[in-house]
Amino acid sequence: MRRFLIACALLCPCAPLLAAPPSRVVATYAVSKAGIRIVTMNETFVRQGDHYTLESVSQAVGLLALIKAETIRVNSAGLVTSNGLQPVTYASKRKVDEDRNASADFDWEKHRITLTDRSGRRTEPLPAGTQDRLSAMYQLMFLPLQDMKILKFFMTNGSKVDDYTFEIKHGQSVTVPVGTFKAVYLATLPEKNASRTEIWAAAEHSNFPYKMVVTEPDGGQFTQELTHIEFTP
């Protein structure tokens, strides 16, 4: 479940903001594997002035819920800057596997990040533009993806900070349960023995991510599709 939830941490420190991203977004995703729905994700993004809050609640459904009725609650909060979202706190909490809980505290003045998980608490260097696993998806709304071909970024899941590179293709389309839309397509570069992430961001709707597919090294795929969306200007 963790792999498809990490999505992407996407920020270009020098990129200008797009015009007025929504002040509130309510979204629901269905996550499936091999065509079988296994998770429902409900997310809420709120931007008030120069602050934002984000919450994502994922619940196992169907056969997965019978095996493990897991609920994952993820929260991110921070500032809205000239470069988009700048997380200050992040936390991922599980109802069942509590030992997999993780959090991150961002100290942008000292360029340090404090990570907390089952291995303990430690402080590491904080790369410029780092997003957390949740804010990364919503950072897409603040980036001029239509003018970009490559996107490099850092992202934390509360346990570590990783760097990623995405290729961007324009003039694409995406079909999800809420309809068919013009899209910007982002995909990680192929790496041996590594998962590959593909994202379709709706160009018509503030580059909000409408679909994501994660392909594992063994060929297994997780698909995340938008089933409900509400935008507030």
The stretch 15-20 carries a mean pLDDT of 47
The full set of domain ranges for the chain reads 2-232
Report the mean per-residue pLDDT for the chain: 91
* Among the listed residues 146, 110, 130, the one whose alpha carbon sits nearest the alpha carbon of residue 19: 146
In this predicted structure, the answer to whether residue 52 has a pLDDT above a threshold of 60 is yes
Instruction: Dump pLDDT digits (tens) for 30-43.
Output: 999 999 999 999 99
Confidence of residue 20 (pLDDT cuts 50, 70, 90): confident
Residue 183 pLDDT more than 50? yes
H or E element: which one contains 67? helix 62-67
pLDDT of residue 19: 52
CATH number assigned to the domain covering 2-232: 2.50.20
| pTM given for the model | 0.88
Least confident of 18-32, 34-48, 154-168: 18-32
pLDDT at 193: 86
Q: Residue holding tokens 């897991």?
A: 70
- In angstroms, rounded to a whole number, what is the distance separating the alpha carbons of residues 126 and 27? 30
% of the chain exceeding 90 in pLDDT: 86
d(CA 33, CA 218): 13
Residues 6+ apart with CB under 8 A from 189: 165, 166, 167
